[in-house]
Amino acid sequence: MTLPAHGSARFDLWAPEAGTVTLLADGREYPMTRRPGGGTDSGGGTAGDGWWTVPGAPASGDVDYGYLLDGDSIPLPDPRSRRQPEGVHALSRTFDAGHHQWADGQWAGRELKGAVIYELHVGTFTPEGTLDAAAGRLQYLAELGIDFVELLPVNGFNGTHNWGYDGVQWYAVHEGYGGPAAYQRFVDAAHVAGLGVIQDVVYNHLGPSGNYLPRFGPYLKSGEGNTWGDSVNLDGAESDEVRRYILDNAAMWLRDYHVDGLRLDAVHAFKDERAVHLLEDFGALADAVSAETGRPATMIAESDLNNPRLLYPRDVNGYGLAGQWSDDFHHAVHVNVSGETTGYYADFDSLGALAKVLERGFFHDGSFSSFRGRHHGRPINPALVHPAALVVCSQNHDQIGNRATGDRLSQTLGYGQLALAAVATLTSPFTPMLFMGEEYGASTPWQFFTSHPEPELGKATAEGRIREFERMGWDPSVVPDPQDPQTFTRSKLNWAEASEGDHARLLELYRALIALRRTTPDLTEPGFQDTVTVVSEEEGWLLFRRGGTEVAMNFSGEARRVPVSAGAIALATDDGVRLDPGAGPTSGGEPAAGRLHLPGHSAAILTN
């Protein structure tokens, strides 16, 4: 249950370990009192529930405020702050989400099945780097055929620009993007344009600057860290309120901001040993919000565990999430279009790996992972999961930005290989996601950028980045300085090139593929058991069939003749593709409509 947003209760605060709390609001001090509760402190006295309240505080209007704990002279911002107009170290400002007059009354939402997602970072999607400027590009996305816009994290972080994963104010919208009112305008405009909005949220760690949560209560578990620092307290003492803090935040996006779903960052980093896992709580929350609003509320987890339990219904001991990212698909496509086989790509060095992913969803489904040095994952039960629950891509912010130079596929591959990646992604049985600019082969990189105002933190970030890539065998001299403003500027899209040469050609292919996907049920309706693949490792081609539709892809640089059963070419990536009828049986023994001539690095979709 979310806290009241109106009246003096909007300043209620959870600070169970504080001896005194004073609200500083518009320059006046208001001593707060403990709210009655049923707990006991260590001495056997009444401890309350850890919440503080102040009935005499301003009950309406915009108020700048903060909290003085135990006689401190410097106020701290509200952990549930909706606005931080002067940054994450400064006073909070109240924001009434109910003032916005929504225009999306006709928006009925949509399910993942059959949808296409477009991932974007607000700061680099447009030259202006704001939510209002991004809203100006929504019609372009609608015409491309996109169904959901997925925003990288927009919560409050220190500095002017950042990927968003260093957030410390989970309830606030970064002021540089336009703040919460601009966020409402963006979601409203998206719905009017027929687009859903998925918000990327980070609940597994907090950023290094402006994290005041430990001052208020046991939000973190010291000594139980993950890759990014101390773990969030999901199962320790007083974790009930920490989980409530997280779930209230998720509910805020779904209810107050009308978003259609959440992408839950790196859920494998959650440390939760409770009988009801936090992910199951997310699944229950989504169902509750859907029942209230009549719109689907979609929870998508980023997980590298290859554990289908995340997707299984809660009534069979699953977590009941609508979807999860699938790295296996990305790795299989990346290796086969680029030839890169280092690190975690090593196991995917075959067309057979891509075929297995297309048929079963996970490549590592209990198989040995050489990168991990152990067996990994488990098979998906096709009776419990539709392929649409796996969100797949050939590029995303992580897989580009965590390369040493932030280089996209388009910076090293030609049109033919980019077209193959597009066909593999958009004809897969899964839910495809594009990374901003991918659709026209953007030549701009997407690099790791930060703007830490603290010199020592900026220096540590840059040096840590270099050490990381030195361990991976990269030349450290090519790693851009995250703190250099040009690293951020270089990562902004150049929209002018979308209408030029092969960029424009690729964009038209993406539009055609998405349109074909929308009108071809064989591409989106069948389950896992309905995909049949044929592979020639020697010749470098792969064909998969679902119903009466076949997708043939030639990953080699030489022309190939592929036996097919379907009789008509619905789409081809190369003008040299042709169908020669009546050439005998396929390698599987079925009668063939003919042989499909595929030039090097080309693909075609065929139908009966």
List active site positions. Answer: 265, 302
Q: Provide the β-strand partners of residue 596.
A: 562, 579
CA distance 387 to 440: 26
Q: How many CB atoms lie within 10 A of CB 608?
A: 12
521 exposure class (CB count in 10 Å sphere: 0-12, 13-18, 19+)? middle
376 exposure class (CB count in 10 Å sphere: 0-12, 13-18, 19+)? buried
Q: What is the 3-state secondary structure (H, E, C) of 242-281?
A: HHHHHHHHHHHHHHCCCCCEEEECCHHHCCCCCCCCHHHH
Task: Label residue 474 left, alpha or beta by phi (over 0 means left) and psi (-120 to 50 means alpha).
Answer: beta
Q: How many CB atoms lie within 10 A of CB 579?
A: 19
Contact 428, 420 (CB under 8 A): no
Assigned token pair, 156? 């409050």
Residue (of 237, 236, 246) closest to 278 by Cα position? 246
Look at residue 545 and give its three-state secondary structure. Answer: strand
Contact 377, 303 (CB under 8 A): no
CA distance 431 to 219: 35
Contact 298, 149 (CB under 8 A): no
CA distance 106 to 113: 21
Phi, psi of 275 (to 5 degrees): -60, -35
Q: What is the 3-state secondary structure (H, E, C) of 433-458?
A: EEECCHHHCCCCCCCCCCCCCCHHHH
Residue (of 294, 437, 429, 411) closest to 354 by Cα position? 429
Residue (of 229, 133, 232) closest to 189 by Cα position? 133
Look at residue 230 and give its three-state secondary structure. Answer: strand
Q: Provide the β-strand partners of residue 119.
A: 150, 435
Give the amino acid at 39. Answer: G
Residue (of 200, 196, 199) closest to 147 by Cα position? 196
Contact 397, 119 (CB under 8 A): yes
Give the amino acid at 535. Answer: V
Residue (of 255, 256, 253) closest to 264 by Cα position? 253
Burial 73-85 (b: 16+ CB within 10 A, else e): eebbbbbbbbbbe
Q: CA Rg, the chain, in Å?
A: 26
Contact 64, 26 (CB under 8 A): yes
